[in-house]
Amino acid sequence: MKVDVKRLAKLARIRISEEQEVRYEQQMQDIIEMVEKLPPLESRDSLVDPDHPMTLRKDVPSAPYKRDDILKNAPQVQAGCVVVPKVIE
Amino acid sequence: MELYNQTAASLAKMLQNKECSSVEATQSVLDRIAAVEDTVGAFVTVTGEEALRRAKEIDDRRAAGEELPPLAGVPVAIKDNICTKDVKTTCSSKMLENFVPPYNATVMERLNREGTVMVGKLNMDEFAMGSSCETSYFKKTKNPHNPEYVPGGSSGGSAAAVAAGEAFVSLGSDTGGSIRLPASYCGVIGLKPTYGSVSRYGLVAFASSLDQIGPFGRCVADVAMTYSAICGHDPYDATSANRAYPQFTVGGAGDMKGKVIGIPKEYFGLGVSAEVHDRVMKAAELFEKNGAVLKEVSLPSTPYALSAYYIISSAEASSNLARFDGVKYGYRTPEFENLTDLYEKTRSEGFGDEVKRRILLGTFVLSSGYYDAYYKRAKLLQKQIQQEFSETFSSCDLLLTPTGTDTAFRLGEKESDPLSMYANDICTVTVNIAGLPAISVPCGNAANGLPVGMQLIAPKFEEQRLFTAAGCYEALTEQPLCPVASL
């Protein structure tokens, strides 16, 4: 199968240079050839694991984080907010 | 004998009997790190000053007569994808090079409550994607038994640090073999616990339905003790199992009498080397000589497990790693024109090759038109593998297999060939797919002097069976199972 690496990269928001493209295409082709080796399987029932009922917490704030502590990891901060490029034209 | 050569269990006794202090033990480990780290390269960050301060605090509390838990004062080291408050947690990626978590992972809260002393954060394959520790953005960790060889991955730093005497115990994470494979390559014991038994809160997610945190140690008691400290229900992890855990004990020489050990024949094909085959079967015979019953069993879907693993884990990774976009935290590209440009440049510059390959694979198997053929089929195979295991466990107490197909390989040997790298995980991925617990235990050395590991697999939440079997093997071997590597 031919793999359209450029399209995948676009979907994944990753930029691949021209010189990387050939290498990636070959590698992805090989990897997909490997993972294709699956036996024919019939869909029987749901894929949810019945042994693992997940329980959600009540939506109550608990972690005592301060805004300034969280913002310490932000790449660019101004007036207590994360700075991002213009989103709406 | 230097203190760093002790096991955590023997050090704990010495600390309780006041034969040494935690400051002395911590200093011994820090001196060892200073002496061998240039060769081994297990650490991304060493927290020496903070460790000594913490050790002093534990010593003071002990001196004041306080009853302390068994691990109190024992120096430990932590894989760098487990969040540590105020200490950098990089995932060995440029993307998180300067990330300092404002909170502790639940396992860190639990270890802190036990009174352990953290000496540093350990190198790994970038975002835990790899089997050799070579995809780290920072450095390549070496195998302490021979620095020309890889330590295995992704928790290569965790295994190497324990093998080299740079920590008494360590924590790693295992998505497809990332604890067991490096344990096997470095000649230490590594436990991948039952999915849901150890909280993943604060573990940077790779494949959430497969990831599990677990301990490394140089004796079975150390691994059992550390597991006991970190397991248990956590409301902060929705997949955490709400159940009670027993007091774990370590097996003795006679404890495998009458136990049935299944030998799944498929695991001895799969490209397993003659030497590894031989060492693992020798261990099986030792169990048999001491009263265990060996039984050949079959897990027919095993040859397909690697495909299912790479589909499921990459699909989840592509989703989990979508959060790294240069906006709220982590790396941000310095120059960009608009938001899309910011995302694309940040991710292209911040992620390494292997991470990009996995994201692309995950994007592919989830993309429209391919979902049913890949992801859905892999999930169905997962169910089939789970069923095969559970049928096998109706007639066996445990399963015994090799951990890796061979001993450690040379640095650089497989770096440019993703497929041969992926094939290293063939004996370990099934355990993650089925959510089972498994332990890797050294079972001798190959002719090249490097350790061989065997893998024991138990039904869900039956870690005790692993500690019984591994403890029995440990008691039956004359040499110490995991001697500190001489460097």
pLDDT digits (tens, 9 = 90+) for A24-82: 888 888 888 888 888 877 766 656 666 666 778 888 887 778 899 999 999 999 999 99
Residue B189 lies in a domain: yes
Is residue B176 within 8 Å of residue B313, measured between CB atoms? yes
The answer to whether position B363 is within a domain reads: no
- B288, part of any domain: no
Distance from the A57 Cα atom to the nearest Cα atom in chain B, whole angstroms? 7
pLDDT at residue B220 is higher than 90: yes
Choosing among B361, B368, B432, which should be mutated to test the A contact, i.e. which has the most A CBs within 10 A? B361
At residue A23 the predicted structure's pLDDT band, cuts being 50, 70 and 90, is confident
* Residue A12 resides in a domain: yes
Query: Could you give the C-alpha distances from B292 to B169, B246, B262, B266, B367, in angstroms and in order?
Result: 30, 24, 10, 21, 49
Would you say residue B313 lies in a domain? no
**CB of B376 within 8 Å of any CB in chain A?**
yes
- The CA distances from residue B253 to B9, B172, B220, B474, B476, in Å, are 19, 29, 13, 8, 6
- In-domain check, residue A22: yes
- B139 touches A at CB < 8 Å: no
Do B339 and A85 make contact, defined as CB atoms within 8 angstroms? yes
Contacts of A44 in chain B (CB under 8 A): 380, 383
In a domain, A48, yes or no: no
Tell whether A17 is covered by a domain: yes
Report pLDDT digits (tens) over B89-113.
999 999 999 999 999 999 999 999 9
pLDDT for B318: 97
Whether A60 is covered by a domain: the verdict is: no
The domain in which residue B244 lies consists of 3-257+396-476
* CB-nearest partner of B329 from A8, A44, A73: A73
Count structural domains, chain A. Answer: 1
How many domains is chain B partitioned into structurally? 1
Please indicate whether residue A45 or residue B58 has the higher confidence score (pLDDT).
Answer: B58
- Residues from chain A contacting residue B381 (CB–CB below 8 Å): 38-39, 41
Q: How far apart are CA B181 and CA B174, in angstroms?
A: 9
Average pLDDT rounded to a whole number, residues B249-277: 95
CATH of the domain at B441: 3.90.1300.10
Quick check: A28 and B367 CB within 8 A?
Answer: no
More confident residue, B65 or A58: B65
B142 lies in some domain: yes
* Residue B487 belongs to some domain of the structure: no
Q: Which of B28, B154, B170, B318 is catalytic?
A: B154
Predicted local confidence at residue B98, as pLDDT: 97
Average pLDDT, chain B: 96
ipTM for the predicted complex: 0.91
State how far the Cα of B8 lies from the Cα of B184, in Å rounded to an integer: 19
Q: Is residue B244 part of a domain?
A: yes
Per the structure, the complete domain to which residue A20 belongs is given by 5-35
Across the interface, of A30, A73, A76, the residue whose CB is closest to B99 is A73
**Considering the domain boundaries, does residue A52 fall inside one?**
no
Q: Which two tokens stand for residue B108?
A: 């860190």
Partner A, chain B 350-369, Cβ-Cβ below 8 Å: 351, 356-357, 359-361, 363-365, 367
CA distance B409 to A53: 41
In a domain, A30, yes or no: yes
Domain assignment present for residue A64? The answer is no
Partners of B203 in the β-ladder: B82
Residue B89 placed within a domain = yes
**Å between A80 CA and nearest CA of chain B:** 12
- Residue B418 contacts A, CB cutoff 8 Å: yes
Identify whether the C-beta of residue B222 lies closer than 8 Å to the C-beta of residue B176.
no
